[in-house]
Amino acid sequence: MSDTAGILARARQAQVAIPAFNVPYLPMMEPVVRAVRDLDSFALIAVARLEWLKFESRSLTAVRDEFRRCGDARHVRLHLDHVPVIDEDNLAVDYLALIREAIALGYDSVMVDGSRLPLAENIAATRQAVEVAHAAGVACEAELGAVLGHEAGPLPPYEELFRSGKGFTSVAEARRFVRETQCDWLSVAIGNIHGAISKASRDQKKVQARLDLEHLGLLHTATGIPLVLHGGSGVRREDVLAAIRQGIAKVNIATEIRQAYESALKSAGQVEAARDAVYQRTLELIRDYFGNCGIRKRVAELPTVQ
């Protein structure tokens, strides 16, 4: 198994969360890596299928090539984020082909998202993806429950969603899902939501989400594996820190740094200004939101055997 699986396992044990920074625009990658390195921290660089279809990360190969140019193996790994079985436009996706392509290109971990399927179908699709990934020694993340936000059209009011528990990951289903799929990490829905991706709404401020920490604790006990918080941008910091103590070992951050890039590019008209905005926002997130300065040795270096 790739060392990314070990890194998340050590993060979970140390009660720190590894941020996964999504890069929908290729020029964002270098300043993110630089910020992680300058704070002696550790992170994943992530790209989801929708980010090369609906933004400008171009392709799996283009992202891999940029990572080879500016990545630093002491501080970052390359992760394939959301590869849906059924996408946000309700279209079927050749997800295994994309996962195989990413593995062949050298991605360190992958994610299959069958969350729009009924439970049994999600289990079957995820198990296929896990088998492909594990055969290549690559960790595989999955999703159960509905982390909303990427679908077309407006969401119901957030408070209504939270109170109803709509889409929350079922504890009983999670126990079965992890046992039958053997996934390495599980993305759960506990009040978190994705940022909007439509051109009409992608620049809007994201709602400040909160997390059902009691429900998370039950999921942690039921699954026994590192859990993942998608839609990390905008979640109350105190909730995220509490969630880390309840088994969250990876937090996806997309909207926070994407909007920093887009806003600076629009106002200054220069890519370099946008890259600097990404660098500064990433520094702030690592230092002030996660408190992850200097964690590299704790999570990314194996202890020396005496």
Q: CA–CA distance from 197 to each of 12, 51, 173, 202, 255 (Å)?
A: 30, 9, 29, 5, 9
Give dist(CA 300, CA 278) in Å, integer.
Answer: 24
Contact 9, 226 (CB under 8 A): yes
pLDDT confidence of residue 88: 86
Along the 306 residues of the chain, how does pLDDT read in single tens digits?
568 999 999 999 999 999 999 999 999 999 999 999 999 999 999 999 999 999 999 999 999 999 999 999 999 999 999 999 999 889 999 999 999 999 999 999 999 999 999 999 999 999 999 999 999 999 999 999 977 655 555 666 766 677 766 789 999 999 999 999 999 999 999 988 765 544 544 566 656 778 999 999 999 999 999 999 998 888 889 999 999 999 999 999 999 999 999 999 999 999 999 999 999 999 999 999 999 999 999 999 865 444
pLDDT confidence of residue 14: 94
Contact 144, 177 (CB under 8 A): yes
pTM: 0.91
Please name the residue ranges forming H helices in 224-306. Answer: 237-244, 255-268, 271-284, 296-300
Helix (H, G, I), strand (E, B) or coil at 158: helix
**Neighbouring C-beta atoms of residue 34, cutoff 10 Å:** 18
> Which amino acid is residue 277, in one-letter code?
A
Q: Residue 21 has which token pair? A: 């920074």
CB within 8 Å of 172: residues ≥ 6 apart: 222
- The residue with tokens 């009011």 is 157
- The residue with tokens 């590299």 is 296
pLDDT confidence of residue 150: 57
Contact 233, 260 (CB under 8 A): no
Helix (H, G, I), strand (E, B) or coil at 89: coil
- The residue with tokens 């992760």 is 79
The CATH number of 3-297 is 3.20.20.70
pLDDT confidence of residue 252: 95
Let me know how many helices (H) and strands (E) the chain has, helices first. Answer: 13, 8
Pick the closest to residue 283 from 32, 47, 43, 45 (CA basis).
32
Q: Note the pLDDT tens digit of each residue in 212-248.
A: 999 999 999 999 999 999 988 888 899 999 999 999 9
pLDDT confidence of residue 296: 96
Query: How high is the mean pLDDT of the chain?
Result: 91
Backbone angles phi, psi at 57, to 5 degrees: -85, -5
